[in-house]
Amino acid sequence: MTENQEKRLEQFEKMLQSVQTEYKSIVRQMEELKKKGKIRSVTYQQLMTRKLTYQNMISMYELYDLAEKDDRERENR
């Protein structure tokens, strides 16, 4: 593997980790708002949109076997 390929792989791994971390954060924030009965709030709706966006990104990673499907399922529990 060339130095450039190693750098790209490292950057990809950072990006994947960032997407997964942000997805977890969004889910936690939504759970907190749900506990407070604020599922109709603008903030909750914005988080839902972001969650769907990140969910789609993770699904693309899974489609190309770049992330494990079980990872997101475990995160949702």
26 in Cβ contact with 50 (< 8 Å): yes
Q: What is the pLDDT along the chain (77 residues), one digit of tens a residue?
A: 899 999 999 999 999 999 999 999 999 999 999 999 999 999 999 999 999 999 999 999 999 999 988 655 545 54
Instruction: Show me where the domains of the chain are located.
Output: 3-75
46 in Cβ contact with 22 (< 8 Å): no
- State the distance between the two ends of the chain, measured CA to CA, in whole angstroms: 37
**What is the spatial distance between Cα 77 and Cα 62, in angstroms, rounded to a whole number?**
18
Q: Is 66 helix (H, G, I), strand (E, B) or coil?
A: coil
